[in-house]
C-alpha cells in the first residue's frame, strides 16, 4: 500500500512539473523543521562562508569571514571552541587520519594547517590572493582550491592543487576568467566540475592531467552561476544562477541543460540529498527545497523561512540535519539554526 501511494504521488509530481503547475497542494508540511537555535552574540560582523564536519568526533566547523572558525558539538549543539587569528577564512576540510584541520585563509593567501585537538597552527601552504572555495579528493588526499582573479586584479584565475599529506602545492590550473566559484568532484572518475561564474558556464577538468576538457554554458537560462552540487548516480549537476535566480540542472555527461526552476535570490550553497532525492538551496530570507521526481523533473516542495543573507548552509544526511548560518543583522545577533529533515 505504501509503495503504491509513493508511486502515485511521484506520478502527480511529474504531471504538475510537466505543465508548470505548483505542487504546494501535494505537500503535507514543510520538508524540514527548526529544532534548535544556537546564539553567537560575539560575532558582530562578517558573513559566514563554509562548513566542514568531523563525524566520528561529533564536531561541526564553520568559517566566519571576520577571521574566526567556530566549532560546535554535534551532540549537544553547543559552541565548543573558536579558532581566532585568521585573516579571512573561507573553505575547510578535516582529515581524521591526521587529526588535522585545513583552512583556506583568503586574506592571508594561505592554506593553514591546524592540530584538531589543540587547535594550534602547525604549518601553512602559500596560495594566490583571494583563495576561497575548494574540493577535497579523499582518495588522493588532494585539495583543489580556487584562487586569484578579481581580488588579485588579474583577468584569469587558478585552481591550485595541494597535497594535504605533504602540505605542498603541486600545481596551478590557469583559467581564463577572473571569477570561479564552487567546485565538485566526480568520485567514480577523474573529472572536476567548476562554476566558471565569469563565463556563465560550468567547466570540466581532468584531475589526472589538470587540463580543461569542456566548457558548458548556462546563459541560455541565466547568468552568474555560483554554487554546485552533484547527483552522481543519476548523472546530474545542479547550479544556481543569480540573474535570474534559477536552479539549473545539467546532464553531467553531455553538459545539456535538462531542467530549470525559479528559486530565491542570493543562493550561495546548494546541497543534494541522495536518499530523499531533494535539493536544498539557501539564499536571502529563505531555503528552497526541490523534489527530484526523476532525473529530468524537479518541483519546489518547500519555501522555508530563513533570514537576511543567511546563505551559508550544510546538509548532514547521516544525522538527518540541515544547518543554516545566520549573520548578525541590525539588533539581531548571529546564530546557527539546526533543522530536522522531515519525510
DSSP 218-253: -TTT-B----EEEETTTTEEEEEEEBTEEEEEEETT
User: Cα separation of 119 and 139, whole Å?
Assistant: 25
Q: Where are the alpha helices (DSSP H) in the chain?
A: 2-18
Closest-CA residue to 104 (of 79, 129, 82, 71) = 129
- pLDDT tens-digit series, residues 41-88: 999 888 999 999 999 999 999 999 999 999 999 999 999 999 999 999
pLDDT digits (tens, 9 = 90+) for 280-310: 999 999 999 999 999 999 999 999 999 999 9
> Which of these, 104, 203, 120, lies nearest to 160 by C-alpha position?
104
Average pLDDT over residues 112-139: 97
The pLDDT value given to residue 46: 81
SS3 at position 88: coil
pTM over 0.85: yes
Average pLDDT in the chain: 92
Give the angle 297-286-267 at the CA atoms, nearest 5°: 70
Instruction: Specify the long-range contacts of residues 253-258, CB closer than 8 Å, at least 24 apart.
Output: 255/202, 255/204, 255/214, 255/216, 257/218, 257/220, 257/221, 258/295, 258/296
Residue 308 buriedness (CB in 10 A; 0-12 / 13-18 / 19+) = middle
C-alpha distances in Å from residue 316, one per residue of 52, 138, 225, 245, 252: 10, 18, 24, 25, 23
Cβ atoms within 10 A of the Cβ of 105, count?
22
Between residues 26 and 281, the one the model is more confident about: 281
Express each pLDDT in 185-238 by its tens digit: 999 999 999 999 999 999 999 999 999 999 999 999 999 999 999 999 999 999
pLDDT value, residue 200: 98
Other beta carbons within 10 angstroms of residue 191's beta carbon come to: 18
In the structure grid, which three cell numbers stand for residue 30, read together? 514543510
pLDDT at 10: 42
Ordered structural domains, the chain, with CATH: 27-45+181-343 (2.130.10.10), 48-178 (2.130.10.10)
Question: How does DSSP classify residue 190?
Answer: S
Strand order in the sheet with 68-73: 48-54, 59-64, 68-73, 79-83
14 confidence band (pLDDT: 50, 70, 90) = very low
Q: Specify the pLDDT at position 156.
A: 97
State the pLDDT at residue 6: 37
- For residues 335 and 326, what is the distance between their CA atoms, to the nearest angstrom? 5
* All cell numbers assigned to 262: 525559479
Preceding omega of 252 cis (within 30 degrees of 0): no
Amino acid at each position: 500500500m505504501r509503495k503504491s501511494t509513493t508511486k502515485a504521488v511521484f506520478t502527480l509530481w511529474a504531471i504538475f512539473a510537466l505543465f508548470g503547475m505548483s505542487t504546494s497542494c501535494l505537500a503535507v508540511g514543510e520538508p524540514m523543521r527548526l529544532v534548535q537555535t544556537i546564539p553567537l552574540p560575539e560575532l558582530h560582523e562578517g558573513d559566514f562562508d563554509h562548513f566542514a564536519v568531523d563525524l566520528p568526533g561529533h564536531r561541526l566547523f564553520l568559517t566566519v569571514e571576520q577571521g574566526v572558525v567556530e566549532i560546535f558539538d554535534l551532540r549537544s549543539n553547543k559552541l565548543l571552541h573558536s579558532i581566532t587569528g585568521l585573516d579571512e577564512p573561507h573553505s575547510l576540510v578535516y582529515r581524521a587520519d591526521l587529526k588535522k584541520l585545513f583552512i583556506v585563509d583568503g586574506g592571508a593567501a594561505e592554506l593553514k594547517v591546524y592540530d584538531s585537538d589543540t587547535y594550534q597552527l602547525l604549518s601553512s601552504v602559500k596560495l594566490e590572493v583571494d583563495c576561497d572555495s575548494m574540493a577535497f579528493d579523499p582518495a588522493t588526499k588532494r585539495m583543489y582550491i580556487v584562487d586569484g582573479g578579481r581580488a588579485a586584479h588579474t583577468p584569469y584565475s587558478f585552481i591550485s592543487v595541494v597535497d594535504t599529506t605533504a602540505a605542498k602545492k603541486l600545481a596551478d590550473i590557469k583559467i581564463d576568467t577572473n571569477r570561479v566559484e564552487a567546485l565538485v568532484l566526480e568520485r567514480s572518475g577523474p573529472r572536476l566540475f567548476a562554476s566558471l561564474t565569469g563565463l556563465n558556464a560550468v567547466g570540466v577538468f581532468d584531475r589526472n592531467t589538470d587540463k580543461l576538457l569542456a566548457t558548458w554554458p548556462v546563459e541560455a537560462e541565466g547568468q552568474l552561476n555560483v554554487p554546485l552540487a552533484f547527483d552522481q548516480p543519476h548523472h546530474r549537476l545542479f547550479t544556481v544562477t543569480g540573474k535570474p535566480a534559477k536552479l539549473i540542472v545539467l546532464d553531467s555527461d553531455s553538459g545539456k541543460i535538462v531542467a530549470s526552476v525559479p528559486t530565491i535570490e542570493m543562493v550561495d550553497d546548494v546541497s543534494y540529498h541522495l536518499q530523499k532525492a531533494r535539493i536544498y538551496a539557501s539564499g536571502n530570507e529563505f531555503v528552497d527545497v526541490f523534489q527530484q521526481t526523476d532525473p529530468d523533473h524537479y518541483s519546489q516542495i518547500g519555501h522555508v523561512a530563513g533570514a537576511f543573507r543567511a546563505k551559508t548552509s550544510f546538509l548532514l544526511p547521516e544525522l538527518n540535519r540541515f544547518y543554516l548560518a545566520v549573520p548578525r543583522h541590525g539588533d539581531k545577533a548571529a546564530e546557527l539554526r539546526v533543522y530536522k529533515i522531515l519525510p
